[in-house]
Structure 1
C-alpha cells in the first residue's frame, strides 16, 4: 500500500499539532508517522552559537528540503529513513537521528511545508491552519519559554524581526496551495470530518 502524504502548514503556533491530533483521533489508525519540518533545519556546526541566534529560521532557505524530499520518496518506496533531530536550545541539528518506518499515513507538519513545489506534488492532501496573529504570538511566547529554553526578550525580538515579516511574505501566501483552510479560532469539527473522510477514501483506493 502506498502511504497517504498529508502536508499541514500554517503560521507559527497556529495549532497545527492540535488539528493533526484531532484528525488522528478520528482516524483510529495505529500506523501513522509524523515528520516535523523543523527537524530539517540545516546543520550549523561551523558557526558560533551567537551567530546561530541571528539566522532567519523563518526563511525557506533555512531548511534542508532536498533531504526531506529524498526522505519522503524513500518512505513512499517502502523503506525506512534516518530522520534528523533539531536541538532548539543550541540552534543546531543534533548528532542524534530517529528511524522512521513507512506507515499508511505520513503527516508532514511545518510553517513552510507548502513553499516547496516538490513537497506539494508528493502530498495527497494539503492543509493550512489559520489563527490570528495576536493569539499565535502569545502561544509562541509561552511555548518557546517553556519548551525551548528561550528568554522573553529573545522570543519577542525574533518574532518582530523575522517571524512576523516572514509569515506575511512566505507562510501566509501558501494558503493558495491548500486543499482545505482550517480556521482555528473556533470549532473546526466539520473541516476535520471532511479531511478524515478524504483520507479514508484514499486509503481504500490504495489497498
Structure 2
C-alpha cells in the first residue's frame, strides 16, 4: 500500500511542528517525518560569517532535488539517510538520520508548497495560519533559546529576509492548501477533524 503523504506548511513560528507532534501522538509508530529544514544546501565553501548573510527563506536555499529523491524512495518503501542541518553553524552537519518508511509520511516546512515537485507528491496539504505577531515572538524565543542566536541577529534576519520572503513565497503558497489550520496543533477541533480524515483515507487505501 502506498503511504499517505501529508504536507504541513506555514510561516515561521506558525505551529507546524506542534501540529506534526500532535499527529505523531495520534498515530504513533505509523508516522515518518521529513523536515524541509534539514535539506538546506551544504555551504562548506563559505565562511561562517558568509553563511550568516545567506537568505535562508527563499526556495533556492534548499536542496529540493535531494528531498524529492528521498521522498520518492520513502513512498517506494525504502529507508533514507536524511541530512541533518546544524542551525548554530548555519550549515549541514556531517551527521545523517535514518528514516524508515511508514504508512503516514509527513513533510514539514515553510516553503514545501512553493516547490511544484514537492507539492505534487503530497496527498493532503495543510497550511498552518497564525498571526504574524505571534509567529515572530515564537521565532525569537526559539532562535535565542534553542539555537544560540542573539536577539539582534534574529531581528535583523526577520526584517531583511524572513518577512519579505514570507510575503513573496509562503503566504501565496497558501492557495495550494487542501485545509487551512488556524493556530496549528493547539486547534483541537481542527486536529480532531484531521485525525478522522487521515484514518478514513488510510482505511480506504487498505
Question: Normalising TM by the smaller chain, what interval?
Answer: over 0.9
Cα drift, residue 156 of structure 1: 0.4
Cα drift, residue 43 of structure 1: 0.2
The within-5 A match list for 1:21-170 is: 21-25=21-25, 27-170=26-169
Q: What SS does the aligned partner of 1:122 have?
A: coil
Cα drift, residue 186 of structure 1: 10
Equivalence for 1:183: 182
Q: What SS does the aligned partner of 2:112 have?
A: coil
d(CA) in 1 for partners of 2:202, 2:186: 26
Gaps of 5+ in 2: none
Q: What SS does the aligned partner of 2:120 have?
A: helix
Cα drift, residue 179 of structure 1: 0.5
d(CA) in 2 for partners of 1:21, 1:88: 20
Equivalence for 2:20: 20
CA contact (8 A) 1:132 1:185 kept: no
Taking structure 1 as the reference length, the TM-score comes to 0.95
d(CA) in 1 for partners of 2:165, 2:27: 36
d(CA) in 2 for partners of 1:96, 1:23: 26
Q: How many residues align?
A: 206
d(CA) in 1 for partners of 2:79, 2:128: 28
Q: What SS does the aligned partner of 1:95 have?
A: strand
d(CA) in 1 for partners of 2:104, 2:185: 26
The within-5 A match list for 1:192-203 is: 192-203=191-202
CA contact (8 A) 2:18 2:186 kept: no
Equivalence for 2:4: 4
Moved over 6 A (4+): none
Gaps of 5+ in 1: none
Taking structure 2 as the reference length, the TM-score comes to 0.96
